[in-house]
Amino acid sequence: MQSPSPSKTSWDSLSSEIRLLILQSLMQDGSTLACLAAVSRAWQTDIERYNFARIRLTPSRLMDFRSIIPRNQATVRYIWFCLELDGYNCTQCAPRNGVLTGEEVEVAMTVSDTEHCPITTAFQGLFSTLSGWDQISELMLDISIYSPSDAQHWFPYLTFMPDNLSDRLHGSGLEPATINQGYHDPPHGWVDGFRHSAPPRAAVNKVFYPIMEEGPFGSEQSEIEWWNQLPSASAVTSILLRQQNRRRWKPTALAHMFSRFPRLQEVYYEPWREWDTFQRHTDKGKHHYPLLFDRCV
């Protein structure tokens, strides 16, 4: 018995744009695209192309990323590299002397390697993986460093989400708390949905603290040497450092990070306006700014 010929409305007969619209509609209906990949080989190809185009990557997923991604490497266009810092309680949300010892304040503020979030190991793994990618790739790398606890104390409105609105349908990232009249947290300045008192300076300093300021390196020179030993990642052509990141990269760190991307063409950098000692600290590193951007001119 002869099998029927494919109809004009078969999946293969649709344009790639129409197929993408169908997949997006299925996602909005709450469907899991991974399950739909079993429908046919054609569906699997298109769904993998969609799923792998934009990836959220965490340190714990790096090993799986290395083994899974080679077959779909050509479809990846955007990697959201999320370094999720340790959570903290109310004794550390606004760390200051008098409440904590000097050593405890330093530990509470420091953005450095921990067992939960080994920053240097994560970057080493990321660069090692990307160094083997196709040299003609055009990859955007979006780097976020945050703690889930940042939005659980003084700043419930903070969000940590992917850059693309459609990715929010996956539920990835950290959504803000719903601040209405039912939101009541007087110890952190919120009364009946309104800010009743300003956060203390220590709370602001906590979420804006420089990354790897105290450790894991013994000196600035050792940090520079560490950045310089990372493998080059030619696949990366765009870097995204968004305003949702409060914690601040030092200009020297950015300069040496960017040097590991030989084909870097675009940098989307959204730093916060700094005040007081924060601004003076940044001003000391301004001589590094030309090095940050000379590759992108």
> Quick one: which of 174, 171, 166 has its CA closest to 78?
166
Q: Kindly state the helix (H) or strand (E) to which residue 139 belongs, with its residue range.
A: strand 139-146
CA distance 16 to 238: 25
What's the predicted TM-score (pTM) here?
0.78
What are 47-85's pLDDT values in tens digits?
Answer: 666 667 788 888 888 877 777 766 777 778 899 999 888
Mean pLDDT on 91-103:
84
The answer to whether 159 and 82 have CB atoms below 8 angstroms apart is no
Residue identified by tokens 């080994």 is 118
- Read off the tokens for 246: 């409060």
- Read off the tokens for 34: 């991974």
What are 200-256's pLDDT values in tens digits?
Answer: 999 998 999 888 887 788 888 999 999 999 999 999 999 999 988 888 898 889 999
**Confidence band, pLDDT 50/70/90 cuts, at residue 31:** low
- Read off the tokens for 76: 């990846």
pLDDT at position 19 over 70: yes
CA distance 71 to 113: 32
The answer to whether 122 and 59 have CB atoms below 8 angstroms apart is yes
Q: Answer with the residue of higher pLDDT: 200 or 97.
A: 200
Please give the torsion angle defined by the CA atoms of residues 62, 63, 64 and 67, in that order, rounded to the nearest 10 degrees. Answer: 120
What are 117-130's pLDDT values in tens digits?
Answer: 788 999 999 999 89
Write down the pLDDT at residue 203: 92
4: helix, coil or strand? coil
Q: Is 83 exposed, middle or buried (0-12, 13-18, 19+ CB in 10 A)?
A: buried
The answer to whether 54 and 165 have CB atoms below 8 angstroms apart is no
pLDDT at position 284 over 80: no
The answer to whether 109 and 209 have CB atoms below 8 angstroms apart is yes
**Confidence band, pLDDT 50/70/90 cuts, at residue 36:** low
CA angle 221, 226, 231 (to 5 degrees): 145
CA distance 239 to 29: 32
